[in-house]
Chain A
């Protein structure tokens, strides 16, 4: 029988508009307020215009833009496919003469237009603003296009994922919950697996994998980096997400066509997915449980109990959601299957444990080895100041030196659970092998109770390569430096500024020479009497150095320039020291010159220890205490300890 109705059903579209039109309007208004309106306000007010940043449109309330992008599309999908999750509406719609595929296309397309229209309209408004007003000097057409594309992409991707999950579930609440679980799951499960591997395998470089990969696995975290932190877009990731989006739509289509409507109002509509859900939840809760117990106790037996309790809890939760009742014990057999699978997994982890932990490549296979921390390795500019370079050892002797340390760490193997005491080292080692492969390990260990380890660590830290990589003065952009500020940390007043280029050169050379010639690694927390701030022409680049009176060459340069006298502070200048305990309850004045000198040589910047003391310094000729540092209780002279006891 020929149909006189067209294949585009206006009434279905109209109904969708009635359902979600308001959301579209609100979304438009929200974006309008965040971008065009805010930009206009800032621009027209000369007071705020001065602070306006140029370039990216993600500089305007990026958090809000990101949150809207990951919530509004979910709202759209949930509202549009709400009819699938109620028996009455589901029966009504599916008794109508329209194919399920047509329903999906109608709803998805109407929602897509209503979702993207607010973004596109705001994009047009931003472009018009730029074209016809002076605002154009703050962002250009490419900025608008970039903003438009990123926002559209993220919104459409989340929307597609929501629609896909709408097909999977038969419950409104589960639609929302499962959508977020689904988009976060790939990243979440990686994090859980990595964290758990760290608890099981000594040397597992957790942060390396987390930084390198994990954020990319979820569009939510990936785009958070792009919108909030202005990370660059990777076309590879975009194509992966685009492919995922297309697959999700095809998946939604397939699932809808095969959806059994009698399962409406069940958490998971497709029986074949129920085991996936059940074991997925069980697995995740189990890993969380194991991890939690491990972090809280550090003991292996508690960790096992954590795994057990977690898996049981996860299983009960999953079953309760699927069956919609707490009486879940009838399905204990599936739990036993899961438990059996787990035992196999843990056994295999233990089988590889030994070989993983002791896997140190032969020196002859190693091209070079990185030694330091993860941030420097990744050249993460959020954490690493300019002038700090990743350190690679290439010489055979040096590689052996690193391996000696690594072996000692593995052997002492309290490694992962060092308290964060002062002498804790977080070491990240990456072997880059001649065959192109990489081998990464990370360790945390305390030097305090292991003199052998301490010796090996200091050997590396004392090497000139280490010093050169980790001291900014060796890696400065000399042309950018136009002056430097000299300052004594003990004096309240500002020190001199040096802009004579020859003195700057001489000072840099002297600092390098002095750092090179110190034999033992200086305690990084030790108080340095003097600091130098290098002033550069580049806005984001600054350098910093510190030294004390033992830096002979540096002091000599300053003396020759006639600057040393301005900043020189020696223990003899100190009138008295004021010791305060950690809670400022007990105070002691130290006036004996011998004690002052002793304490002065053991000052550190700050200690977090409860038994440490604050040291206030009162100089001759100053009216009050001019600087405050800390000292560890163990570093105090015996006579002072005795006085404090009283």
Chain B
């Protein structure tokens, strides 16, 4: 489990993080969302044991990461701009990691490398996408309990992206690996993360479980007969309401079945329960604070 409490950090006089707190449960994937410069990378660098916070604490399995070798053995950090030792080949990079990470699984590394069809060449000669794949191979072969990644899916094509997501989910399911991913792209996180936290200007402004959210908020369209009583709407927690002709569109905070039952009782002419994207939920739920979300929706 990763737990950050009132994390604060200043760069010179600029407050980069202001009392940020969040929790990542074991075996889950956490999406850290925010626009560029919101403070995501700083949080991640503190988590990786690179930086030290000024105030607050960040504990991984109850311990601090900074200069804690035993704990860092179980954490892999993948930066947004990848770095490989200059002139090192894929195999040499593997050897380097093997020397430093106690849980290194050489067999798995070889297997991943062949799975991605990566040749044993100097990593620096690879394309950006291929380098990212090497980074994932290294990360997963080190069998970390915690994988912390800064914008890991940027610049990957859809096929590779899907394959990597699959591998991540696989490790989470099999080994209960805990993953923290930062991204400025909400859509990308939608069917990957269990929880998301939104950071804006150094503050955590929202934390949600995505499954809960999807079950909590519903989108529905219906049409009633002319002149029918609409007073039943007052009982609902409506986030958003639209009317196009005779068709009503509602975004409601409610249980799916409960809502369907209430509406069905009105004998509507049309009743459709519609799928709802994460993006819409955030925008509607946040109301006035939505400005922050729009920034991260590209």
Query: A: which residues have CB within 8 A of B?
Result: 1, 3-5, 9-12, 15, 18, 88-92, 94-100, 257, 260-262
Q: Which residues of B contact A1 (CB under 8 A)?
A: 70, 73-74, 102
Known: A88-B79, A88-B83. A97 touches B96 (CB 8 A): no
Provide 27 A-B residue pairs closer than 8 Å at the C-beta atoms, listed in order of the A residue: A1-B73, A1-B74, A3-B70, A3-B73, A4-B102, A5-B100, A9-B99, A11-B95, A18-B87, A88-B79, A88-B81, A89-B83, A90-B50, A91-B48, A91-B79, A92-B79, A92-B83, A94-B50, A95-B48, A95-B49, A97-B70, A97-B73, A97-B75, A97-B101, A257-B67, A260-B51, A260-B52
CB of B11 within 8 Å of the partner chain: yes
Least CB distance from A623 to B in Å reads 77
The 8 closest A-B CB pairs, nearest first, are: A97-B72, A11-B99, A95-B77, A92-B83, A95-B48, A97-B73, A11-B96, A88-B83
Given the complex, which residues of A lie within 8 Å of B51, measured CB to CB?
A: 260-262
Set of chain A residues within 8 Å of B71, measured between Cβ atoms:
97
Known: A3-B73, A11-B96, A94-B49. 16 other contacts (CB 8 A): A1-B102, A9-B99, A15-B85, A88-B79, A89-B83, A95-B48, A96-B100, A97-B70, A97-B72, A97-B75, A97-B102, A98-B69, A98-B72, A98-B100, A260-B51, A261-B51
Residues of B within 8 A of A100 (CB): 67
A91 to B11 Cα, complex, angstroms:
16
- Please report which residues of chain B, range 44-75, place their CB below 8 angstroms from some CB of chain A when the two chains form the complex: 45, 48-52, 67, 69-75
Give per-residue flags for B181-208: 1 if the beta carbon is below 8 A from chain A beta carbons, else 0. Answer: 0000000000000000000000000000
Residues on B with C-beta less than 8 A from A12 are 99
Would B85 and A261 count as touching, CB distance under 8 A?
no
Are A91 and B100 also in contact (CB < 8 A) when A97-B73, A99-B67 are? no
Question: Chain A contacts of B74 at CB under 8 A?
Answer: 1
Cross-chain contact A91 with B69 (CB below 8 angstroms): no
Q: Is the interface of A mostly helix, strand, loop or mixed?
A: helix
User: If the complex has contacts A97-B69, A260-B52, are A11 and B79 also in contact, measured as CB distance less than 8 A?
Assistant: no
Chain B positions 236 through 270: 1 when the CB is less than 8 Å from some CB of chain A, otherwise 0: 00000000000000000000000000000000000
Task: Report the minimal beta-carbon distance from B206 to chain A, rounded to whole angstroms.
Answer: 26
User: What residue in chain B is nearest A19 (Cβ atoms)?
Assistant: B86
Once bound together, how far apart are the Cα atoms of A3 and B74, in whole Å? 11
A99 CA to B68 CA, complexed, in Å: 8
Residue from the list A88, A99, A260, A262 in contact with B69, Cβ < 8 A: A99
Contacts of A9 in B (CB 8 A): 99-100
Q: How far is the CB of A321 from chain B (nearest CB, A)?
A: 16
Chain B contacts for A98, CB-based, 8 A: 69, 72, 100
Q: In the complex, A522 Cα to B47 Cα: how many Å?
A: 85
What is the bound-complex CA distance between A329 and B216, given in angstroms?
56
Expressed in whole angstroms, the Cα–Cα distance for A94 and B67 within the complex equals 9
> Which residues of chain A come closer than 8 Å to B79, judged between CB atoms?
88, 91-92, 95
Q: CA–CA, A5 to B104, complex, Å? A: 10
Q: Give Cα A184 to B98, complex, Å.
A: 43
Q: Cβ of B100 and Cβ of A3 under 8 Å apart?
A: no
| Bitwise interface map of B from 2 to 16 toward A, beta carbon under 8 Å scored 1, else 0 | 000000000100000
> With the chains together, A261 CA to B51 CA distance in Å?
6
A3 touches B48 (CB 8 A): no
Give bound CA distance, A354 to B75, whole Å. 70
Interface size on B, residues (CB 8 A): 28
Which of A1, A10, A91, A257: most chain B Cβ within 10 A? A91
Return chain A residues, CB-CB under 8 Å to B77: 91, 95
Could you say which residues of chain A place their CB within 8 Å of the CB of B96? Answer: 11, 15
Enumerate chain B residues within 8 angstroms of A15, measured Cβ to Cβ: 85, 96
Q: Mark B102-117, 1 if CB is under 8 A from A, else 0.
A: 1000000000000000
* Bound form: Cα–Cα A90–B45 in Å: 11
Distance, CA A510 to CA B96, complexed state (A): 87
Quick one: closest A residue to B93, CB to CB?
A11
Min CB distance B133 to A, Å, is 17
- Closest B residue to A3 by beta carbon equals B102
B101 contacts across to A, CB distance below 8 A: 5, 97
| A5-B99 contact given A88-B83, A92-B83, A262-B11, CB 8 Å threshold | yes
Cβ contacts under 8 Å, B70 to chain A: 1, 3, 97
With CB as the reference atom, state the residue of chain A lying closest to B145: A1
Q: Most chain-A CB neighbours within 10 Å: which of B75, B83, B98?
A: B83
CB distance from A292 to the nearest CB of B (A): 35
Residue contact A91 to B50, C-beta cutoff 8 Å: yes
Least distance between B75 CB and chain A CB atoms (Å): 8
A9–B102 alpha-carbon span in the complex (Å): 12
- Nearest-CB residue, chain A, relative to B96: A11
Taking CB atoms, residues of chain B closer than 8 Å to A261 are: 45, 50-51
| Distance to closest chain B CB from A104 (angstroms) | 13
Q: Mark B207-240, 1 if CB is under 8 A from A, else 0.
A: 0000000000000000000000000000000000
> Cα distance A12–B99 when bound, in Å?
9
> Which of chain A's residues have a CB closer than 8 A to the CB of B49?
94-95
Closest to B16 in A: A262
Bound together, the chains give a CA A18 to CA B87 distance in angstroms of 9
Set of chain B residues within 8 Å of A92, measured between Cβ atoms? 79, 83
- Residues on A with C-beta less than 8 A from B73 are 1, 3, 97
| Known A5-B102, A100-B67; contact A91-B83, beta-carbon cutoff 8 A | yes
Q: How distant is A22 from chain B, measured CB to nearest CB, in Å?
A: 12
Question: Separation in Å of the A300 CB from the closest CB of chain B?
Answer: 42
Closest chain B CB from A79 CB (angstroms): 12
Nearest to B148 among chain A residues (CB) is: A95
Considering the chains assembled together, what is the distance between the CA atoms of A366 and B268 in angstroms?
Answer: 121
Interchain CA distance A94-B100 in the complex, whole Å? 12
Contact partners of B98 in chain A: CB under 8 A = 11
Within 8 Å CB of A90, what residues of B?
50
- Residues of chain B lying within 8 A (CB to CB) of residue A95: 48-50, 72, 75, 77, 79
CA distance A99 to B73 in the complex (A): 11
Beta-carbon nearest neighbor of B103 in chain A: A4
Bound state CA distance, A369 and B29, in angstroms? 87
In the complex, what residues of B have CB within 8 A of residue A262's CB? 11, 51
- Residue pair B99, A10 in contact (C-beta under 8 Å): yes
Residue of B nearest to A92 (CB): B83
A89 CA to B50 CA, complexed, in Å: 11
Instruction: List the B residue with the shortest CB-CB distance to A257.
Output: B67
The winner among A12, A18, A92, A262 for most chain B CB atoms within 10 A is A262
Report chain B residues within 8 Å CB of A89. 83
Instruction: Give the distance in Å from the alpha carbon of A10 to the alpha carbon of B74 in the complex.
Output: 20
Contacts of B48 in A (CB 8 A): 91, 95
B69 touches A3 (CB 8 A): yes
- Chain B nearest CB from A331 CB (Å) reads 13
CA distance A150 to B25 in the complex (A): 60
Nearest chain A residue, comparing its CB with the CB of B70: A1
Q: Once bound together, how far apart are the Cα atoms of A105 and B69, in whole Å?
A: 16
B contact residues around A260 at 8 Å (CB): 51-52
A397–chain B nearest beta-carbon distance, Å: 70
In the bound assembly, the distance between CA atoms of A94 and B51 in angstroms comes to: 9
Chain B residues, CB < 8 A from A18: 87
Q: How far is the CA of A100 from the CA of B70 in the complex (A)?
A: 14
A residues near B69, Cβ cutoff 8 Å: 3, 97-99
A11 nearest CB across to chain B (Å): 4
- From A5, which residue of chain B is reached at the shortest CB distance? B102
A1 and B51 CA atoms in complex are apart in Å by 24
CB–CB B100/A97 < 8 A: yes
A262 to B102 alpha-carbon distance, docked (Å): 28
CA distance A108 to B52 in the complex (A): 25
Bound form: Cα–Cα A587–B185 in Å: 95
**A residues within 8 A CB of B100?**
5, 9, 11, 96-98
A92 CA to B101 CA in the complex, in Å?
Answer: 14
